[in-house]
Structure 1
Amino acid sequence: MSKKKDEATNLLDQLEQIARGLGETFAPFCEVVVHDLQDPNHAIHAIHNNLSGRQVGDPATELGLARIADPQYPEVIANYANRFPDGRQAKSTSIGIKDSNGRYVAALCMNLDLSLFQSLQSAMGQFTAIVKNGITENLNTRNADTIRQHIDEFSARQATTPRALKADDKRMLLRELKDAGYLEVRKSMEVIAQHLGVSRAAVYSYVK
């Protein structure tokens, strides 16, 4: 066996162990595939936590063929949109592996099944939905912690974090806090500014 062949075989063996570990860690949500780019017609060298229904010995994908054709093709392509054969949406990351001559000989690919996470996201959205019927109630004594909690809950409804809220969202948040009486709490403006990561002057501007 040639030195070049030995090197490629060693890389594939190591990748297979990495793929096995990743597959077991992220099961059952993530498929991990090792591609042997030296044999594009039978490229799939190993597949762990099989979600796509492919088999060892199946041919290379378009991305694999692109790497074979162009050594300058990006080594890492992360979090790109993909789809399983049955239509399920996936998020994929592909890592190309080169030999000592700079030629692509293998690839490690991870395909994350988004369908379960999308279902969970929908369920969480329904679970945290609040009916706006004009009734407001605060079961806790108003203090800095309850102000922070209200901000966190508002941010969660916007699918973001307090510090990532947009200006219009911050104005809406301040209206909610004002209507609920939180702005009357001692040092409320300081608490809000700190939790949003802005100045007190900015908080006052959102109240106007």
Structure 2
Amino acid sequence: MEHVQHEMEFLSALVKGIAAQFGENCEVVLHDLTRPYESTIVAIENGHITGRKVGDPGTNLGLELLRGNTENGNKFNYVTQTKDGRILRSTSLYMRNHAGEVIGSLCMNFDITDLTMAEKTLQSLTYSGLQPEVRESFVSNVGDLLDMLIQEAQEQVGKPVALMGKEDKMKLIQLLDQKGAFLIKKAGEKVCGYLNISKYTLYSYMEEAKNAEPNE
């Protein structure tokens, strides 16, 4: 398959079929990752689980894959949470064209909040074999996703912007770059405003950080 749109009829039916099989607690999402990242969702069932709809953006995990920081990308049976604290059991599968380029993804998010309330009785059913918790952000606009990535990077740096020196700002920029943040349209402008630096300084820091990375 060279493009998600070439198989849209089948993939849309697949999204509907999976959702029908597992019921209203299972959100199923189809992303066309050749589209601008702020509008990758092309089909979705049970979007009430994360509050998303067709035309909304992908998550931070998709950005990391597009950035090249994940070799395969597929994640099976992992746990994450929505903004309002609901617990999801998720699986994300990525589609590639014949050249090996990522072109789309099919994601399933099953709301297990009510099941986990049963704790000991249902623990073996809800958590058996799950992978370690993964931080994944479900957003309805790409600006919120960028805000989350910036906040996470600042937490890793461990300082407020007012106390950051050059090395701290370089580290924050490098962390954002590794997470694929600069694939988001106008991300550079937002990061410049957040760090109170010019675009020239941003590109200079990115280049300096890149040159400082050890050769593989």
Shorter-chain TM-score bucket reads 0.5 to 0.7
Match of 1:76 in 2: 74
- Of 4, 8, 12, which aligns to 1:8? 4
Match of 1:197 in 2: none
Tell me, what secondary structure is at the counterpart of 2:117? helix
Q: 2: CA distance between counterparts of 1:103 and 1:119?
A: 41
Match of 2:42 in 1: 45
* 8 A contact 1:8–1:99 mirrored in 2: no
- Of 88, 93, 98, which aligns to 2:86? 88
* 8 A contact 1:71–1:102 mirrored in 2: no
* 8 A contact 1:96–1:106 mirrored in 2: yes
Tell me, what secondary structure is at the counterpart of 1:19? helix
Q: 1: CA distance between counterparts of 2:41 and 2:102?
A: 15
1:12-23 equivalences in 2 (<5 Å) = 12-23=8-19
Cα deviation, residue 121, structure 1 = 4.5
Tell me, what secondary structure is at the counterpart of 2:65? helix
The runs of at least 4 aligned residues of structure 1 exceeding 3 Å deviation read none
Task: Select the structure of larger CA radius of gyration.
Answer: 1
- Of 29, 36, 51, which aligns to 1:33? 29
Cα deviation, residue 92, structure 1 = 0.8
Q: 1: CA distance between counterparts of 2:124 and 2:112?
A: 17
If the length of structure 2 is used for normalisation, what is the TM-score? 0.51
Cα deviation, residue 159, structure 1 = 5.6
Structure 1 49/110 Cα, relative in aligned 2: closer, same or farther at 3 Å?
same
- Alignment gaps of 5+ in structure 2: 126-216
Cα deviation, residue 75, structure 1 = 4.1
Letter in 1 for 2:17: G
Q: 2: CA distance between counterparts of 1:159 and 1:22?
A: 23
Cα deviation, residue 15, structure 1 = 2.1
| Residue 119 of structure 2 is aligned to residue 110 of structure 1 | no
Letter in 1 for 2:11: L
Q: 2: CA distance between counterparts of 1:73 and 1:26?
A: 30
Tell me, what secondary structure is at the counterpart of 1:60? coil
- Alignment gaps of 5+ in structure 1: 126-157, 161-208
Letter in 2 for 1:77: K
Tell me, what secondary structure is at the counterpart of 1:11? helix
RMSD of aligned alpha carbons: 2.6
Q: What is the number of residues matched between the two proteins?
A: 123
Cα deviation, residue 72, structure 1 = 5.7
Cα deviation, residue 13, structure 1 = 3.5
Residue by residue over 1:140-164, the C-alpha shift from the partner in whole angstroms, topping out at 9 and shown as x without a partner, is xxxxxxxxxxxxxxxxxx969xxxx
Q: Percent identity?
A: 32
Letter in 2 for 1:113: D
* 8 A contact 1:41–1:60 mirrored in 2: yes
Cα deviation, residue 41, structure 1 = 1.6
Cα deviation, residue 55, structure 1 = 1.4
* Larger RCO of the pair (alpha carbons < 8 Å, separation 6+): 2
Tell me, what secondary structure is at the counterpart of 2:77? strand
* 8 A contact 2:64–2:70 mirrored in 1: no
Q: 2: CA distance between counterparts of 1:48 and 1:16?
A: 10
* 8 A contact 1:24–1:49 mirrored in 2: no
